[in-house]
Amino acid sequence: MQWYYAKNGQQQGPVEQEQLEALARSGGLSAEDLVWNVSMGNQWAKASTVPGLFEQTPPVPPIPGAPPAEWPAAASYTSGTANRDLMGLARGALAGNWGIAIGGSLLYYLIITAAGMIPLLSFVINGPMMVGWTLFFLTLSRRQPVEVGLLFKGFNQFGNAFIAYLLMLLLVIAWAIPGIVLAIITIVLSAVKGMSGGSFPVETVAALVLLTLAALSLPMIAQYRYSMTYFILIEFPAIEPMEAIRRSTQLMAGNKWKLFCMHWRFFGWTLLCIPTFGIGLIWLIPYIKTSEAAFYADLKRREEGLHR
C-alpha cells in the first residue's frame, strides 16, 4: 500500500509501507505528522494512529549522551533496512533542502581544491573538513536545521579529527602493502622469465593476477571498515580517535558489502553525469552523502536498540 505524509507543511510521497516504517524508525516521520492513503478517503490522520508504526519503532535520538561502555558483538549491528529505503529517506530529507545541500557541497570542494594547491595545508585540514562535511549531511538527514557553518565545526575538535584522518590514512596504506608487494613480485618474476626465454603456464599467470587483484582490493575494504569513524567522532566528541576507528570497524562488520551495494546503485547515475561534463554531480554527491548518513543512522538505531 502506498502512503503520503505531510512534513513541515509539505506533502511527500508516495512511499511504500516499508519506507513509511523506515521513516518512523529513523525519526524522519514523527508521531504528530499527518499520513494518508487511498483507503482513508479525504481524511488525513496522525502517524501515531497507524497500527504498529510507532509501538516498536521509536525514533533515533538526535545525539546520544555517551557511548556504551561495552558494545555487543558486531554481527548484531547488521543493517536490516533495504538500501532503496535508505535512499528514499535521503531523498525525503533533501526535499526542500537541495539548495543548501548543493551550496554546502560546492563550498566544501572549493575549499578542498584550493587547499590542495598547498599539500601541507591540505593534509592538515582534510580531517576537520571531513568531520564538518559529515556533520552537515548527518544534520540534514535528521531533518534538523542546516547551515553552511556546520562545514567548519570539525575545527572545534581539530586534534581528534586530524589524528583520526592520519591514522586512517596510515591504516589504508598498510592494507595496500600486500597488493603492492605481490604486484612487484609478479612483474619481476615475469621479467626474469622473459629474459630467460621462458614463460609461465597460463594457470600460474592467472593465479598470480587474481591473487594480486585480491590483495589490491584490501585498501578499499579498509576504507569501508573505517567509513563510520567521522560519524562516531561527531556523536561522541570526547572519544579517542583510535577508539572511534575501532568502533567503526565493529559497526561495519557484516555491513561493508551492503554499503558497497548502496554505492553501486549510484554507478548508473555517475555515468549519466559524464555527458553533462560533471555538472550532474552537483546533485548526485549530496544524494550519496545523505544516503550514507541514513545508512549510519540505521546502524546506530539497531545498536542502541540492544541497550534499551
Question: Do 43 and 78 sit in the same domain of this protein?
Answer: no
Last residue of a domain, one of 12, 38, 59: 59
pLDDT tier at 23 (50, 70, 90 boundaries)? Answer: confident
Question: Do 25 and 106 sit in the same domain of this protein?
Answer: no
Q: Can you tell me the mean pLDDT for 32-42?
A: 77
pLDDT tier at 143 (50, 70, 90 boundaries)? Answer: confident
* Rounded Cα distance, 118 and 122, in Å: 6
Question: Do 140 and 263 sit in the same domain of this protein?
Answer: yes
Bridge partners (DSSP) listed for residue 36: 4
Choice among 1-10, 113-122, 248-257, 297-306 with the minimum mean pLDDT: 297-306
| Beta strands per DSSP E along 40-172 | 45-46
What domain count does the chain have?
Answer: 2
Q: Which residue has the higher pLDDT, 77 or 40?
A: 40
Residue 62: per-residue pLDDT: 44
Question: Do 3 and 65 sit in the same domain of this protein?
Answer: no
What's the whole-model pTM score? 0.73
Task: For residue 44, give its domain range.
Answer: 1-59
Q: Can you tell me the mean pLDDT for 138-158?
A: 93
Choice among 123-127, 167-171, 182-186, 292-296 with the minimum mean pLDDT: 182-186
Question: Do 260 and 127 sit in the same domain of this protein?
Answer: yes
Question: Do 31 and 162 sit in the same domain of this protein?
Answer: no
Average pLDDT over the chain reads: 83
Whether residue 135 has pLDDT greater than 70:
yes
Residue 214: per-residue pLDDT: 80
Percentage of the chain exceeding pLDDT 70: 85
Distances (CA, A) of 100 to 94, 137, 148, 156, 163: 9, 10, 7, 22, 29
* Rounded Cα distance, 208 and 250, in Å: 32
Question: Do 142 and 242 sit in the same domain of this protein?
Answer: yes
Per-residue pLDDT tens over the stretch 204-221: 767 777 877 788 789 999
Question: Do 295 and 218 sit in the same domain of this protein?
Answer: yes
* Rounded Cα distance, 139 and 153, in Å: 12
Per-residue pLDDT tens over the stretch 3-14: 888 877 677 778
Whether residue 119 has pLDDT greater than 90:
yes
> 140: Cβ–Cβ under 8 A, 6 or more apart, which residues?
93, 94, 97, 100, 101, 146, 290, 293
* Rounded Cα distance, 64 and 184, in Å: 47
Question: Do 259 and 125 sit in the same domain of this protein?
Answer: yes
pLDDT tier at 56 (50, 70, 90 boundaries)? Answer: very low
Q: Can you tell me the mean pLDDT for 39-47?
A: 75
Question: Do 96 and 202 sit in the same domain of this protein?
Answer: yes
Question: Do 32 and 168 sit in the same domain of this protein?
Answer: no
Question: Do 255 and 127 sit in the same domain of this protein?
Answer: yes
CATH number at residue 36: 3.30.1490
Per-residue pLDDT tens over the stretch 294-304: 999 888 776 55
Last residue of a domain, one of 13, 33, 59: 59
Q: Can you tell me the mean pLDDT for 31-54?
A: 76
List Cβ<8 Å contacts ≥24 apart for 182-188.
Answer: 182/208, 182/211, 182/212, 182/215, 182/216, 183/212, 183/215, 183/216, 186/212
Q: Can you tell me the mean pLDDT for 64-86?
A: 61
pLDDT tier at 74 (50, 70, 90 boundaries)? Answer: very low
Choice among 52-61, 86-95, 145-154, 253-262 with the minimum mean pLDDT: 52-61
